[in-house]
Chain A
């Protein structure tokens, strides 16, 4: 009887276990859910644990390195556009730099021009040489000052170093200058020491050498003497340096003199324009007699 009772208990136990496993099989999704959620909650709870922190930081490092790679590929893909953009910026900056540099140089040159202690520039117009033609067909300078700034024909163009030329025609914003190194240009000059006067002209050839004629051989002249413009000139103020004597050749009556011009025309960039010399009576007299100098709009000086 007791053995039979034990057997029943045993069978009942098996049934309970079977039911339990049947329940587990039927509802294993909930068990899985509980298991997974439990693990997850434990991980949340012990998030700051050393091992988890290490895993997490390793993962973050991995993510960062992959992101870096992705970014580098994106960078490579965008490189062409970036290059084009930079080229545009470079061109713009280069243009600005060149413009600034040109403005600075111009300002410096103007400053040098007007700050010459030996020369008083008041009343003079400062101008820049914007073009220069030196050829067999044309030899002239173009200045960026015209009628609007008070420039008139026959005004003298000079620098503190010496005479440059004469204004021959004027537009509103520009003035054309017949330079000293033009075969049509003539101006009366005198020696600084002996006051011996002559007529300066340029016959072509070297840009820095001009000739002075009609200086009587009786006049004491030496090499290295400075030649200045005279007050006889119809356009030029007197006393403007022109050049220094480098060679003297006596002829029958007059010297044939070569002078080294004071102004270097090859580097000329800033000039002064002297106020026009107003002496109509003298001009009239000269025109009626033997004109030595004539206004440019009629005929060059001779």
Chain B
């Protein structure tokens, strides 16, 4: 249990650093993919809302501290963890691989959209119209994160999910 927890925290840390120093540089129409959101979606879908939120809170603190938006970052990540938690697949659910994968993708998209919504309601760094930020930027962010989730799922998670 402790081992898994330590591993998860280290992964979260790595995801935050990767996001702040590398992934955030890849932008499309001012939107960049978010590996932390994907990570939170994975955690929330497989361990539940509460854990997801806690990880989100921590990730928000870390990313916000490095990026200068601590409060907003924590709020956004917490919401992301909470929303993705609605797609939680309990260990004893007997869900098939396809169902688990669908829930993962759905959790990722929902978390991204919710996080984007909260962030845009609080901050507007590019001075764009609110609706544009929520729907257009949100849609692009959802698409990018979905692609990222699919990639991560295919490369890393598939084996774990099938077990």
Measured between C-beta atoms, what is the minimum distance from A45 to chain B in Å?
8
B115 within 8 A of A: no
Assess A56 versus B70: contact at CB under 8 Å? Given A33-B78, A33-B82, A66-B21: yes
Q: Which residues of chain A from 186 to 216 have a CB within 8 Å of any chain B CB?
A: none
* Closest B residue, CB atoms, query A31: B50
B49 within 8 A of A: yes
CA distance A56 to B66 in the complex (A): 7
Assess A40 versus B65: contact at CB under 8 Å? Given A29-B49, A63-B21, A67-B21: no
A36 within 8 A of B: yes
B36 within 8 A of A: no
* Closest B residue, CB atoms, query A60: B68
Report B-chain residues with C-beta under 8 Å of the C-beta of A44.
71-72, 75, 122
**Residue in B20, B50, B67, B71 whose beta carbon sits within 8 Å of that of A28 in the complex:** B50
**Residue in B60, B68, B85 whose beta carbon sits within 8 Å of that of A59 in the complex:** B68
Q: Produce 1/0 per residue, A53-69, CB < 8 A to B.
A: 00110111011001100
CA distance A36 to B55 in the complex (A): 11
Decide: B70 and A52 in contact? CB cutoff 8 A.
yes
Decide: B20 and A33 in contact? CB cutoff 8 A.
no
Report B-chain residues with C-beta under 8 Å of the C-beta of A29.
48-50, 53, 82, 85
Number of B interface residues at 8 Å Cβ cutoff, please give it.
25
B41 within 8 A of A: no
Report A-chain residues with C-beta under 8 Å of the C-beta of B66.
59-60, 62-63
Number of A interface residues at 8 Å Cβ cutoff, please give it.
25
B74 within 8 A of A: yes
Measured between C-beta atoms, what is the minimum distance from A36 to chain B in Å?
4
Decide: B70 and A32 in contact? CB cutoff 8 A.
no
Determine which residue in B50, B66, B72 has the highest number of CB atoms from chain A within 10 A of its CB, and name it.
B66
Q: How many A-B residue pairs have CB under 8 A?
A: 69
Measured between C-beta atoms, what is the minimum distance from B3 to chain A in Å?
24
Report B-chain residues with C-beta under 8 Å of the C-beta of A76.
none
CA distance A33 to B64 in the complex (A): 18
Interface of A is mostly: helix
CA distance A58 to B71 in the complex (A): 15
Report B-chain residues with C-beta under 8 Å of the C-beta of A286.
none
* Closest A residue, CB atoms, query B65: A59
Measured between C-beta atoms, what is the minimum distance from A192 to chain B in Å?
85
Decide: A40 and B75 in contact? CB cutoff 8 A.
yes
Report A-chain residues with C-beta under 8 Å of the C-beta of B82.
29, 33
* Closest A residue, CB atoms, query B73: A40
A79 within 8 A of B: no
CA distance A44 to B118 in the complex (A): 13
A14 within 8 A of B: no
Decide: A55 and B53 in contact? CB cutoff 8 A.
no
Measured between C-beta atoms, what is the minimum distance from A90 to chain B in Å?
32
* Closest B residue, CB atoms, query A67: B21
Report B-chain residues with C-beta under 8 Å of the C-beta of A70.
21
Report A-chain residues with C-beta under 8 Å of the C-beta of B65.
55-56, 58-59
Measured between C-beta atoms, what is the minimum distance from B137 to chain A in Å?
21
B57 within 8 A of A: yes
Q: Which residues of chain B from 23 to 59 have a CB within 8 Å of any chain A CB?
A: 48-50, 53-54, 56-57
A39 within 8 A of B: yes
A17 within 8 A of B: no
**Residue in A47, A62, A67 whose beta carbon sits within 8 Å of that of B71 in the complex:** A47
**Residue in A40, A52, A67 whose beta carbon sits within 8 Å of that of B78 in the complex:** A40
Chain A residues within CB distance 8 Å of chain B: 28-29, 32-33, 36-37, 39-45, 47, 52, 55-56, 58-60, 62-63, 66-67, 70
17 additional contacts (CB under 8 A) given A32-B50, A43-B74: A28-B50, A29-B48, A32-B49, A36-B53, A36-B56, A36-B78, A37-B75, A40-B57, A40-B60, A40-B75, A44-B71, A44-B75, A47-B71, A52-B70, A59-B64, A59-B66, A63-B66
The 9 closest A-B pairs by CB, nearest first: A43-B71, A44-B71, A40-B75, A59-B65, A40-B74, A29-B49, A36-B78, A36-B57, A63-B66
Chain B residues within CB distance 8 Å of chain A: 20-21, 48-50, 53-54, 56-57, 60, 64-68, 70-72, 74-75, 78-79, 82, 85, 122
